[in-house]
Structure 1
């Protein structure tokens, strides 16, 4: 998609409700079997790096605690100057147990499901539409399928070779069975290597999105209901100024689905905290453009039309795994029920907030660039993950009139590049 990144709904204007002193962040991870470990570690590391470079004055972070049921991981952060601090309760809502259950499925079964999903995507035109939205993401989608075909071909060649050799001393059926076992053994032996290059995760991710878009993931739907009830409970308690629902990557859709269900759950209640939704590098079309995903599209359009929640969507053309220029109000083929009020769409402008040497090095590492949404800037800029989630501006004001957080006075403008993995 070549559409310029940037959209502000016509009726969205800045407000002056005062600074956010108490915020509750609810973070929804994407399809990740290690979400319970990864995001706390990533947040703590990058926040420490951010605090060394940017002028935050007071800054503190507590240890993380995980609820006994394993669904909510919580810590608190304080930033700001004395007497004007922002206290943030930061929660990660976990569904990685569902992902790990998918990973327990035999790799061969996942490959078969991937093949079925790709063929369905071709038959429905979904795959072609995804390519039209972002050809780079289309290649990411086809990468696991192509690797599946290559691995299947190698397994078939090995199996035939072993069967041919075994035919000299075993009956034909037994020789064929030995060959088949050799081919399967190759796939199983290759699994650790495939995990190192994220192939199995990409395979299962695509399968999950395909299943979800067809309404075949009751376990995930049940988890969404629990998450929405949890957020509605925070709203009912009314102890904070803003509830910020955040989602990155495929978690952007999870966050949007939770937010859409929070709206009816909090309708008619007394005025409570501001409701805000922040999606980062989201893959909304992966599910929403399936013709059968009518419920998902209806939820997204409810967010497009609501005036009870501000939704900001940050996109990056440098990131292969998002859809820069995508606007659900325009590109889903649905008509909003009223004026378009969401989302506010902004570019991260990564080129301006990452030092040149680091930018050059990570430009050819798709996964690393994809996680830049959650990492500390090198340089000040409008996109600033920690200012968005921890700063005194509510989301509406942050995206419309951002107060740029400056570097610390003693910080050199061009830091020594630091190699950071995801």
Structure 2
């Protein structure tokens, strides 16, 4: 897709003016079996780095606490200057137990499901539509399938070779059985290596999105209901200026689905409700016409005047869809005027140190996580200003107050190598 990354809805949803003094952030991770560990550690590390580079004045973060049921992880952050601080309660809503359940499925079974999903996507032309939206993401989708075909071919060759080798000493059935076990053994032996190159992650992620788009994930649907109830409780409790739902990667769709469920409830108009999606993969599910409920949820957000939705995209990121606009590209008519989403580019080239940018340009997962990392340089896209700063979401997108570097920070940023 070549459309410019930038969109202001003609009838943008209103939002009370700032400043935000108390905010409640609800973060929805993507499809990640380690979400309970990863996102607190990532936030803490990157916020510490951000606070050292940028002029925040006051900055404090508490220890994280996890609810007994394991579904909510919470900490608080304070930033700003004396008398103008912003106090943020930051929550991560966890569904990584569902992801880990998928990972307990035998790899061979996941590969079989992947093959079925890819063939179904070819038959329905879904894969071609995804390629049309972002050929890089199309390659990311086909990469695990290609590796599955290669590994399956190697396993078949090994199994055939072992069976023929043993055929002279054993009955044909026994030789064939041992050959099959040898092929399966190759797949099992390769699993640790496949995990290191994120292959199993990508296989299960694609299978999940395929299942979800066809309405075959009741466990996930039940979790969405719990999350929506949780956010609704936060809205009813009040005491904050803004409740901000944030989703990254496939968590962008999760955040949108939760927001749509919250809007379906009879809730007070205040505090302000906002939705921030980062590097989202909405088309992975919504491009399927059978995903009627999900498509309806997204279009409800497009026409809603009860929340502000901002979507940040990056052409450098292989795993999002730069230029995608659900108001225009889903082929659905909103129920009212188009009010969402505000669409902006992160302009990673302008906020990442050039040496770091060169090193990570061909590391798709690292670039994908830049949405959640500290900038090297000041810029309009600033994850921590969006989630912790004094501007409400709409104002931050339309008229961002750029957070400057600390006075003692050298003008030329020091290249930093950071892992996910």
Aligned pairs for 1:63-82 (under 5 A) are 63-82=63-82
**Structure 1: which 5+ residue stretches go unaligned?**
none
Distance 2:213 2:13 in 1: 34
Which residue of the partner structure matches residue 292 of structure 2?
294
Are 1:170 and 2:173 matched, yes or no? no
Tell me whether 1:310 sits opposite 2:283 in the alignment: no
Counterpart position of 2:34: 34
Q: CA deviation at 1:415?
A: 1.8
Give the structure 1 partner of residue 5 of structure 2: 5
The Cα shift of 1:291 comes to 1.6
Structure 1 residues 55 and 106, CA, compared in 2 at 3 Å: closer, same or farther?
Answer: same
* Residues in 1 aligned to 2:53 and 2:411: alpha-carbon distance in whole angstroms: 9
Q: Which residue of 2 aligns with 1:375?
A: 373
1:364 maps to 362
**Residues 231 and 326 (structure 1 numbering): CA distance in 2 closer, same or farther, change over 3 Å?**
same
Aligned to 2:143: 143
- List per-residue Cα deviations over 1:340-371 (Å, max 9, x = no partner): 00000000000000011000110010000000
Structure 2 gaps of 5+ residues are: none
Give the TM-score normalised by structure 2. Answer: 0.99
Equivalent positions of 1:9-408 (< 5 A) are 9-12=9-12, 17-265=17-265, 267=266, 269-408=267-406
CA distance in 2, matches of 1:409, 1:276: 32
The alignment of Structure 1 onto Structure 2 pairs a total of residues equal to 420
- Check whether the contact 1:382–1:402 (CA below 8 A) recurs between aligned residues: yes
**Contact residue 277 and residue 309 of structure 1 kept, 8 A:** yes
CA contact under 8 A between 1:14 and 1:397: conserved in structure 2? Answer: no
Tell me if the contact between 1:70 and 1:94 (Cα under 8 Å) persists in the aligned partners: yes
The 3-state SS of whatever aligns with 1:149 is helix
Cα displacement string for residues 37-92 of structure 1 (whole angstroms, at most 9, x for unaligned residues): 00000000000000000000000000000000000000000000011100000000
- Normalising by structure 1, report the TM-score: 0.98
Alignment-derived partner of residue 416 in structure 1: 414
Distance 1:15 1:332 in 2: 26
Give yes or no for contact 1:14–1:400 (8 Å, CA) kept in 2.
no
Please identify runs of 4+ aligned residues in structure 1 that moved more than 2 A.
Answer: 11-18
User: Structure 1 stretch 16-25 or stretch 74-83: which is displaced more?
Assistant: 16-25
Counterpart Cα distance in 1 of 2:405 and 2:416: 17
3-state DSSP class of the match of 1:154?
Answer: helix
Q: Distance in 2 between matches of 1:103 and 1:15?
A: 41
Report the 3-state secondary structure (helix = DSSP H, G, I; strand = E; otherwise coil) of the residue aligned with 1:245.
strand
Q: Give the drift of 1:10.
A: 1.4
Report if the CA contact (8 A) 1:329-1:336 is conserved. yes
Deviations 1:304-324 (A, max 9, x none): 000100000000000000000
Q: For residues 400 and 14 of structure 2, what CA distance do their matches in structure 1 show?
A: 11
What's the secondary structure of 1:91's corresponding residue?
Answer: strand
Q: How big is the shift at 1:18?
A: 2.9
Alpha carbon RMSD of aligned pairs, Å? 0.9
> Any conservation in 1 of the 2:13–2:340 contact (CA below 8 Å)?
no
Displacement of 1:168 in angstroms is 1.6
